């Protein structure tokens, strides 16, 4: 569903992705880890078509939706109108399937998105992405600034969508423990390059990965 090879993306003279290769098969849930400034959001935005590569190839095998970093909702619109905009490309007008999954959004539907809490806004961004009926979902920092309980709840929804609907997921996370709990496979991006990839269980045993991202090896 995602096939990236030899990808180079630059901001002027600065190279943010340097010959990156990454693939996610249909129905897989794969994590992308890396420190601040590694290039993770640049990759997410390139997959979503918001940035143009300098070179390399990006192939997406279906409809891709991005939950961008920092809950980018339309603050002056209601929750219902935010969801309606999410359904603009797919033609989905009825948000009831999203309300079934995220009942809190139904309760908030008439509220202005800009006055909601950070966690509620993240839920709106999640719902908006689902309204586009994606085959593949790229989530840029699900857990950023969220209480652990809400993170766990949204993560649970992701797993459910992956298992029941076969939604393909690329989960970009700073919280490696969460990512390793949810995903089978992961990539580690550092300074614009993929420096490690493989099964999460193996990466968790890699002292360099464990030391940098897990605060020591998992037992």
Ligand X SMILES: Nc1ncnc2c1ncn2[C@@H]1O[C@H](COP(=O)(O)OP(=O)(O)OP(=O)(O)O)[C@@H](O)[C@H]1O
Chain positions contacting ligand X, by CB under 6 A: 11, 14, 16, 34, 36-42, 69
Give me the least distance between CB of 203 and ligand X, in Å please: 18
Give me the least distance between CB of 14 and ligand X, in Å please: 6
47/200 with CB nearer ligand X: 47
Q: Which among 13, 6, 43, 88 has a CA at the least distance from the CA of 190?
A: 43
CA distances from 162 to 44, 67, 135, 170 (A): 19, 15, 10, 11
40/87 with CB nearer ligand X: 40
Give me the least distance between CB of 94 and ligand X, in Å please: 34
- CA separation for the pair 91, 133 (Å, rounded): 9
161/171 with CB nearer ligand X: 171
Tokens of 91: 């033609």
Give me the least distance between CB of 173 and ligand X, in Å please: 10
Element (H, E) at 176: helix 176-182
145/166 with CB nearer ligand X: 145
193: three-class secondary structure by DSSP: strand
């Amino acid at each position: 569903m995602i096939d990236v090879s030899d990808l180079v993306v630059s901001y002027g003279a600065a190279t943010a992705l340097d010959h990156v290769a990454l693939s996610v098969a249909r129905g897989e849930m794969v994590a992308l880890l890396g420190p601040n400034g590694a290039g993770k959001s640049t990759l997410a935005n390139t997959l979503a078509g918001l940035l143009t590569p300098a070179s390399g190839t990006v192939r997406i095998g279906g409809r891709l939706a991005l939950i961008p970093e920092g809950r980018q909702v339309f603050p002056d619109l209601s929750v219902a109108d935010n969801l309606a905009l999410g359904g603009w490309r797919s033609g989905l007008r009825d948000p009831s399937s999203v309300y079934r999954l995220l009942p809190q959004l139904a309760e908030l539907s008439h509220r202005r998105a800009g006055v909601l809490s950070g966690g509620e806004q993240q839920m709106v961004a999640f719902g908006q992405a689902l309204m586009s009926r994606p085959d593949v979902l790229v989530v840029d920092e699900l857990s950023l600034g969220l209480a652990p309980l809400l993170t766990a709840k949204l993560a649970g929804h992701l797993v459910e969508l992956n298992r029941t609907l076969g939604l393909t997921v690329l989960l970009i996370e700073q919280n490696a423990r969460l990512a390793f709990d949810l995903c089978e496979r992961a990539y580690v991006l550092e300074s614009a390059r993929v420096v490690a990839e493989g099964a999460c269980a193996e990466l968790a045993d890699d002292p360099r990965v464990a030391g940098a991202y897990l605060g020591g090896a998992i037992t």
